[in-house]
Structure 1
Amino acid sequence: MLAVVKIAGQQFKVKAGDSLYVPHIEGKTGDKVEFSEVLLTDNAGSVTSGDKVTAIVKAEIVNDLIKGDKVIAFKMKRRKGFRKKHGHRTQYTQIKVTDIA
């Protein structure tokens, strides 16, 4: 079974047993989480979408906090002495999908 689920404003295509990185969600390693905002399901060729979808995606948190790559925003205006440097690392959570019910 395949499902498209909305997690923290982003859409992910998941199957049972998949491991993926999602934007940081609250919880500790080993906690069970459920995502009820399922947009589409595909069960052996029968596709369901829209308001008719009643599935819930169940997952387990594998790693509660993972930092992404460093992103640097650098602004400069030549011959003016203006330089501005900002950087950040986005935080992610690794989850493993256990069931789509």
Structure 2
Amino acid sequence: MLAIVKIAGQQFKVKAGDSLYVPHIAGKAGDSVEFSDVLLTSNGSDVVSGAGVKAVVKAEIINDLVKGEKVIAFKMKRRKGFRKKHGHRTQYTHLKVTAIA
């Protein structure tokens, strides 16, 4: 079974047993979470989307805080001596999908 679920404003295509990185959500490693905002489900040739979807995606948090790659924003104006360097690392949560019910 395949589902498209909306997590923290982003859409993810998931199957049971998948592991994925999502924007940071509250919880500790080992906790189970449920996502009820399912946009589409597909079971073989049956495709259900829109208001007819009555599925819930259940997942387990594997690692509660994973930092992404460093992103650097550098601004500079030539001949003016203006330089500004700003960087950040986005925080993610590592999930493992246990079931789609």
Do the two structures share a fold, i.e. TM-score over 0.5? yes
* 1:66 counterpart SS class: strand
Mapped to 2, the partners of 1:82 and 1:63 lie a distance apart of 40
**2:29 match: secondary structure:** coil
Q: Which residue of 1 aligns with 2:2?
A: 2
User: TM-score, normalised on structure 2?
Assistant: 0.99
Instruction: Flag structure 2 segments of 5+ consecutive residues without an equivalent.
Output: none
Q: 1:20 is aligned with what amino acid?
A: L
Corresponding residue of 2:99: 99
Amino acid at match of 1:28: K
Give % identity.
Answer: 80
Whole-angstrom distance in 2 between the partners of 1:14 and 1:99 = 10
Q: Which residue of 1 aligns with 2:12?
A: 12
Q: What is the CA-CA distance between 1:93 and the residue it aligns to?
A: 0.3
Give the Cα–Cα distance (whole angstroms) in 1 for the partners of residues 34 and 9 of structure 2.
15
Q: Secondary structure at the match of 2:27?
A: coil
SS of the counterpart of 2:51? helix
Give the SS at the match of 1:55: coil
Give per-residue Cα distances to partners, 1:27-86, cap 9 Å, x unaligned.
000000000000000012100000000000000000000000000000000000000010
Per-residue deviation at 1:89?
Answer: 0.2
1:44 aligns with 2:44: yes
Alignment of 1:1-101 (within 5 A): 1-101=1-101
Letter in 1 for 2:96: K
> 2: CA distance between counterparts of 1:34 and 1:65?
18
SS at structure 2 position matched to 1:51: helix
